[in-house]
């Protein structure tokens, strides 16, 4: 297994006999090419890297917009493009998207939501999966989970920003029928199911893993 993240400290606990790690920025095409070479003959690809930039929509800069799109949409698209054909027959791809692609619950994550569902990258992640499945014959799915990037992001620092994020999370959870976000282990269990033989007849699906927040 190969784990790639821009945060080398976070990767340290994964490094071992059965897992290689690479601390690198996946927005760099050269890094993506290197990862694709290492992935030759692999079985699975899981794209979970991403950032949330919590910033009022009228204060977003061009640089803010491009950073979010490059990390959340562009990196995922080109990793799928380069690694998908190199997977073994029967391999699977899972892309973590977001319920933000379907909802307009807050305008402070507009760039993030757009990176999950907008036209320039074929509707980004939500629309990418069915086309990958049709074009490459891979099993490919997208889901939603509260994971590391939901706790921070560029343009989103300081005590005030942390309090604002907590208020947003609390307000969001009131809308979720189950009343909470998903735990990392729950997300991992869904991802493993999508990669396993038990889901071999599923392909090109967008799974709503949202505690009932989204059901369409």
pLDDT digits (tens, 9 = 90+) for 9-35: 989 888 888 899 999 999 999 999 999
Examine residue 77 and state whether it is found in any structural domain, yes or no. Answer: yes
Examine residue 48 and state whether it is found in any structural domain, yes or no. Answer: yes
Q: How many structural domains comprise the chain?
A: 1
User: Does this model's pTM top 0.75?
Assistant: yes
What's the pLDDT score for residue 177? 92
Bin 22: left if φ > 0, else alpha if -120 < ψ < 50, else beta: beta
Give the ranges where the chain is alpha helix by DSSP (H): 8-11, 29-38, 62-69, 75-83, 110-116, 124-136, 159-175, 184-195
Arithmetic mean of pLDDT, 68-73: 90
Greatest Cα pair distance, the chain, in angstroms, is 49
Examine residue 21 and state whether it is found in any structural domain, yes or no. Answer: no
pLDDT digits (tens, 9 = 90+) for 126-177: 445 555 555 555 565 554 454 444 434 444 556 776 777 777 778 878 888 9
44 exposure class (CB count in 10 Å sphere: 0-12, 13-18, 19+): buried
Estimate the crossing angle of helix 124-136 against helix 75-83, to 10 degrees: 10
Examine residue 13 and state whether it is found in any structural domain, yes or no. Answer: no
Q: What is the CATH number of the domain that holds 61?
A: 3.40.50.720
Cα angle at 144 between 143 and 146, to 5 degrees? 145
Examine residue 163 and state whether it is found in any structural domain, yes or no. Answer: no
Are the CB atoms for 139 and 91 separated by under 8 Å?
yes
Q: Is the model's pLDDT at 59 over the cut of 60?
A: yes
Q: List Cα–Cα distances, 186 to 71, 105, 193, 214, in angstroms.
A: 24, 23, 11, 17
How many angstroms separate the CA atoms of 3 and 101, rounded?
A: 26
Collapsing DSSP to helix, strand or coil, 139 comes out as strand
How many angstroms separate the CA atoms of 75 and 31, rounded?
A: 10
Confirm whether 112 is a catalytic residue.
yes
Structure tokens at 2: 């190969």
Domain that holds residue 109: 39-155+182-206
Q: How confident is the model at residue 70 (pLDDT cuts 50, 70, 90)?
A: very high
Examine residue 214 and state whether it is found in any structural domain, yes or no. Answer: no
Examine residue 12 and state whether it is found in any structural domain, yes or no. Answer: no
Examine residue 141 and state whether it is found in any structural domain, yes or no. Answer: yes
């Amino acid at each position: 297994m190969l784990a790639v993240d821009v945060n080398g400290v976070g990767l340290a606990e994964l490094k071992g006999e059965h897992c290689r790690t690479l601390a690198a920025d996946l927005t760099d095409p050269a890094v993506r090419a290197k990862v694709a070479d290492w992935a030759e003959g692999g079985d699975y690809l899981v794209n979970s890297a991403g950032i949330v930039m919590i910033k009022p929509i009228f204060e977003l800069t061009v640089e803010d917009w491009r950073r979010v799109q490059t990390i959340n949409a562009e990196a995922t698209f080109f990793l799928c493009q380069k690694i998908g054909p190199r997977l073994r027959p029967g391999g699977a791809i899972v892309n973590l998207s977001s319920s933000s692609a379907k909802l307009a619950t807050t305008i402070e994550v507009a760039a993030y939501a757009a990176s999950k569902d907008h036209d320039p990258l074929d509707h980004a992640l939500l629309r990418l999966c069915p086309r990958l499945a049709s074009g490459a014959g891979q099993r490919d799915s997208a889901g939603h989970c509260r994971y590391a990037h939901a706790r921070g992001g560029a343009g989103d620092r300081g005590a005030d920003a942390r309090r604002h994020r907590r208020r947003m999370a609390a307000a969001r959870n009131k809308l979720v029928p189950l009343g909470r976000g998903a735990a990392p282990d729950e997300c991992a269990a869904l991802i493993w199911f999508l990669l396993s033989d038990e889901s071999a007849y599923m392909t090109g699906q967008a799974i709503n893993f949202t505690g009932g927040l989204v059901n369409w």
